[in-house]
Amino acid sequence: MRLHILTIPVRSLLIFCCFLACLNFTSCKDSAETKENSTEVSTNTTSYNSETSTDTISKTILFFGDSLTAGYGLEDPDDAFPDLIQDKIDSLDLDYQIINAGLSGETTAGGKSRLEWVLEPDVAIFILELGANDGLRGVSVAETRENLQWMIHKVKAEVPQAQIVLAGMQLPPNLGTEYTQDFKAIFPKLAEENDIKLIPFLLENVGGIASLNQNDGIHPTPKGHKIVANNVWSVLKPLLNK
């Protein structure tokens, strides 16, 4: 057999090699076209899935607040009460996704400036947790109230379908009886006037209790955040639906 191959005329051998080269080129071309078609099908499938998946996008709950919402001082940010509420939502297989827009040191004036940047058109529930830093800085009650009202109006105008929840806040008595009472009254009055939900006092059963707060006496520990999460959950849960 080997001898027979060696005796093939050179011209025939050249023709045979040309045939193999053409065959190889055609094969590569077909392979490239197949790959291109495969890629196109894959791309179309991805686009289709993307379009059809919009029906299953989770509804958004936006927590807009200060260091209490942000989980200031916690080693694990997942210990902050908004994340703990996400765990409760997931355990009930509810179709909601929480966005934590807490910012340490935020005041109501700062919230006015920042709100437009974080407010999304698909927000289903908006939880407003601001005012504590105003009180600690001695900002006038009238100014704090005005800023909170502005944000409530903004949410109603920009995201009319959103349910709004206002987190009530109280101040330590050392800031003066009149000021602390007027400050406390801001939140229930705003909730009533705007027909929105109210968390009477965000830090109920946590504020002023040393064992549930960090060394600064202001920000809750992980255990304290669990109690805060329950305070919020009692108002939030009735607003959720499958």
The residues that are catalytic are: 67, 216, 219
Contact 232, 84 (CB under 8 A): no
Q: What are phi and psi of 150, to 5 degrees?
A: -60, -45
Distances in Å between the Cα of 36 and the Cα atoms of 32, 39, 40, 50 are: 6, 5, 6, 21
d(CA 80, CA 68): 8
d(CA 214, CA 74): 9
SS3 call for 124: strand
| DSSP letter (8 states) at residue 80 | S
